[in-house]
Structure 1
Amino acid sequence: MTHNVTLIPGDGVGPEIAAAARRVIDASGARIAWEVVQAGEAVMAEYGTPLPAYVLDSIRKNKVALKGPITTPVGKGFRSVNVTLRQELNLYANVRPARTLPGIKTRYQNVDLIIVRENTEDLYAGIEHRVGADAAESIKIITRPASERIARHAFDLARRQGRRKVTAVHKANIMKLSDGLFLECARRVAEEYPDIAFENMIVDAMCMKLVQTPENYDVLVLPNLYGDIVSDLCAGLVGGLGVAPGANTGLEAAVFEPVHGSAPKHAGQNRVNPLAIILSGVMMLQHLGENEAADRIMRAVTAVLSEGRNLTYDLGGSAGTSEMAGAIIGKMQG
């Protein structure tokens, strides 16, 4: 079966790492028909927006996309392309695994977490305004439908993957109504899954405990803002954003992407680690039911990391982006 997939190369180093991931996925045995569409800085002059309508149309048509990083101006101008994509396509669940990989130096071993982040509301709804000349106000939105939906997504994922526990992360001790509602919904959904342990944790305590004993946690479910922050913390436990894949899923579409930025200062230098987008591609293949191809890539990635001969500079090697991708392909074909 051939799968139609939208490919958004992105900005900065995006085109290089997207090309590397495409080569690896094409070599995996999965049959992918790529529809390449451009978004970000490269289309601003022509379309007046970093996210032209044709990008959304392509994803709606194909249902699945692999996306490179896209630059968003800080503090002014257009809203985040990532946030807009999630809201326009109702990609309500952001899923970010954080798993220790061989050959990557970290302070921790045997970390295996999944962060499930509500993706459509909370402070990231972008409802904010000025209050006079010297203040600004952002409105935090937490709803029962969205909270129950993301909690159920976390428990369903835990059950599918044979996970043992779901931890709801919140600040309900202070934000008793908004975070209190999120926690109430998580507790209610947990009653439907008696086979999976459930606990809740205040977000600041969660950050401390993740640094102390990450092995005690399995699946975390969080509102949008906390999920953004804690997922980066968990990426740090396993080697950084360069090895952190991500998925944004909804009922009608799914967008898979590395969670790091576009790193424009490294663009065109063939030196950036492509693992995050390759691992995002593995998640995409699993979503498409191409589990054999996904496993083939993971075995090859593990072999290359374990050997340590074809790694990019951030992993302690001297290989380029394309060379590391080539080494992964070689392991699949060897």
Structure 2
Amino acid sequence: MKNVTLIPGDGIGPEVSQAVQKVIEAAGVEIEWEEANAGKGVMEEYGTPLPDEVLDSVRKNKVALKGPITTPVGSGFRSVNVAIRKKLDLYTNLRPVKTYEGAPTKFKDVDYVVFRENTEGLYAGIEHKVGEDAAESIKITTRQASERIVKAAFEYAQRENRKLVTAVHKANIMKLSDGLFLEVAREVAEEYPEIEFNDRIVDNMCMQLVQYPEEYDVLVMPNLYGDVISDLGAGLIGGLGLTPGANIGDEIAVFEAVHGSAPDIAGENKANPIALLLSGVLMLRHLKETDAADRIEAAVADVLAEGQTLTGDLGGNATTTEITEAIIDRL
């Protein structure tokens, strides 16, 4: 029996979280779920969207599955997602980008993985007003954080038999901060001579991924670029509803979908659970439940390829319940 913290989230979070639980149970994996709530729904009770008991549960169980949580734009509390990553030192944001037959996309044979540094850069949240009419954000780049994310990318490439690691940066303009990141990436690459290494300027990288996505394998980059390029990748494979994610530290891992909480369809049984389910697949592989992970991913691929039971974002009209049951049937 595995002990896993479940953070259902808000908006469509509880619906897709429940769907993932059902599929994992149907695959024969026994998990003791410890539910811990965060987000808008707990603000009134706790005065914070991220109560200490949530972090305590994740620290205890070492593994969590997290549904989407609303982040207000321009005001309100800072992102709970960012806070969890920083407080638990989950420095690796891992986002696989992979096409499946039947997904609504013009691209084929896309299969690369984004490694995004999760704890610093412009997302460190160090900003202040400069007088009445200006604001300043401070970008932090350290050798330690750069080194550990690049090493994580190379270790993954080595473990998963990937052949190429590409560092993404803007060192031509930000010569000190991104220059340091690129310098460290080149140093780490020398420790893995069996893996090819190259680098791309971030704007050129975006163009390359749209033109030649099949040429890339593992991408590693600072925080902000990782956020942008991850969503670009979601566009290549059919949308955020198919894009999983993981936040990994030395001892703790939190698995989450990339998409938002979609409060406009919350409670309407319309949400696509596949992104969180594929995040659950990553979680199962982390827990060494490889057989169940492979069978669930194959079931998802079968449902997508068949094209008969798809939610609205995938071009169909199936409900959350219907696509969940279709995936379970394929198991």
Q: How high is the TM-score relative to the length of structure 1? A: 0.98
Q: Please state how far the C-alpha of 1:265 moved relative to its aligned partner.
A: 0.4
Q: Please state how far the C-alpha of 1:30 moved relative to its aligned partner.
A: 1.4
Aligned to 1:206: 205
Percent identity of paired positions between Structure 1 and Structure 2: 66
Letter in 2 for 1:90: D
Aligned to 2:42: 43
Letter in 2 for 1:255: V
C-alpha separation in 1, matches of 2:217 and 2:152: 14
Write the deviation string for residues 16-57 of structure 1: whole angstroms up to 9, x where unpaired.
000001101111111111001111111011111110010000
Q: Please state how far the C-alpha of 1:299 moved relative to its aligned partner.
A: 1.4
Q: Please state how far the C-alpha of 1:311 moved relative to its aligned partner.
A: 1.2
SS in 2 for 1:46: helix
Q: Please state how far the C-alpha of 1:313 moved relative to its aligned partner.
A: 1.4
Aligned to 2:269: 270
Aligned to 1:83: 82
Aligned to 2:316: 317
Q: Please state how far the C-alpha of 1:252 moved relative to its aligned partner.
A: 2.1
Q: Please state how far the C-alpha of 1:200 moved relative to its aligned partner.
A: 0.5
Q: Where in structure 2 are the equivalents of 1:13-162 lying within 5 Å?
A: 13-162=12-161
* Residue 171 of structure 2 is aligned to residue 172 of structure 1: yes
Letter in 1 for 2:146: S
Letter in 2 for 1:172: A
List structure 1 runs of 4+ shifted beyond 3 angstroms. none
C-alpha separation in 2, matches of 1:265 and 1:180: 42
Letter in 1 for 2:154: F
Aligned to 2:280: 281
C-alpha separation in 2, matches of 1:196 and 1:61: 36
2:6·2:34 contact (CA, 8 Å) conserved in 1? yes
C-alpha separation in 2, matches of 1:205 and 1:41: 38
C-alpha separation in 1, matches of 2:31 and 2:291: 14
Extract unaligned runs of 5+ from structure 1.
none
SS in 1 for 2:141: coil
Q: Please state how far the C-alpha of 1:105 moved relative to its aligned partner.
A: 2.1
SS in 2 for 1:150: helix
SS in 2 for 1:69: coil
Write the deviation string for residues 151-196 of structure 1: whole angstroms up to 9, x where unpaired.
0000000111111100000000000000000000000000000110
C-alpha separation in 1, matches of 2:251 and 2:125: 23
Aligned to 1:329: 328
2:65·2:280 contact (CA, 8 Å) conserved in 1? yes
Write the deviation string for residues 98-139 of structure 1: whole angstroms up to 9, x where unpaired.
000111121110000100000000010101111111111100
C-alpha separation in 2, matches of 1:3 and 1:317: 35
C-alpha separation in 2, matches of 1:207 and 1:319: 33
Instruction: State the Cα RMSD in Å.
Output: 0.7
SS in 2 for 1:101: coil
**Number of equivalences:** 331
SS in 2 for 1:146: helix
1:89·1:252 contact (CA, 8 Å) conserved in 2? no
C-alpha separation in 2, matches of 1:107 and 1:94: 26
C-alpha separation in 1, matches of 2:257 and 2:327: 18
Write the deviation string for residues 183-229 of structure 1: whole angstroms up to 9, x where unpaired.
00000000000110000100000001111111111100000000000
C-alpha separation in 2, matches of 1:270 and 1:76: 29
